[in-house]
Amino acid sequence: MTRNAATRKDVTRNTGNVPPPRPLSLASVPDTASDTEGEHMNDTTRRSLGTGLAALLAVDGLVHLYWATGRTWPAPDAHALSLAVLGTAVSFAPPVVLPLAALTLTGAAAVLATTHRRGGPATRLVTGAVAAGLAVRGLAGLGWVAKVVDSPPGPFYALNLALYTPACLGFGWAAARLARAR
């Protein structure tokens, strides 16, 4: 007698009847990735993803604050910095970079709050907006990499390929998971 037969015999003995077997279908298999109520995420994963993402956003915000002082590290001047970071000549003056610093630091705070289950729907919404923003930047980066969008000469193409696009896609995915998590 197989183990299943022994188990069914025990069930029959205990309850008096054997439940009919359920048909297997893909609809009966739980799919946490498409769960409309959110993804189940253990606390270690939540903390790892959230802390890493919040740290990235905080560093980005602090670098923008640094640039608001007029310094251009790691580039020799503002023009070279703009070409390396954005691929085009754009001002790095305080009126331009301070709002970006505020935006990324606010995103970092919201992500950290979401990581620690604080702030409710508002911080999850901001975390979702962070995911959307990173995804858009990552997809645009793929356009530059695939040469669908013109990429200017200079360091931007290499930095976009090696750093900007992978970071945006990876951290965008992390933000989306975190925003959906219960």
pLDDT in tens, 83-125: 999 999 999 999 999 999 999 999 999 999 999 999 999 999 9
Q: Is the pLDDT of residue 10 over 90?
A: no
Cis bond before residue 74 (omega within 30° of 0):
yes
> Looking at residues 42-64, what average pLDDT do you find?
96
Q: Which amino acid is at 137?
A: R
Longest dimension (CA), the chain: 84
Q: What is the pLDDT of residue 32?
A: 44
**pTM exceeds 0.85, yes or no:** no
Q: What is the pLDDT of residue 9?
A: 52
Contacts 24+ apart (CB under 8 A), 78-83: 83/152, 83/154, 83/155, 83/156
Q: Which tokens belong to 63?
A: 């670098």
Q: What is the pLDDT of residue 149?
A: 85
Q: What is the pLDDT of residue 26?
A: 46
- Residue 29's pLDDT band, with cuts at 50, 70 and 90, is very low
> Looking at residues 25-47, what average pLDDT do you find?
63
- Residue 31's pLDDT band, with cuts at 50, 70 and 90, is very low
Q: Is the pLDDT of residue 61 over 80?
A: yes
CA neighbor of 2 nearest in space, from 10, 173, 117, 53: 10
CA neighbor of 168 nearest in space, from 46, 39, 56: 56
Write down the number of H helices and E strands in the chain: 7, 0
First to last CA, the chain: 44
Q: Is the pLDDT of residue 153 over 90?
A: no
CA distances from 55 to 40, 75, 164 (A): 23, 23, 16
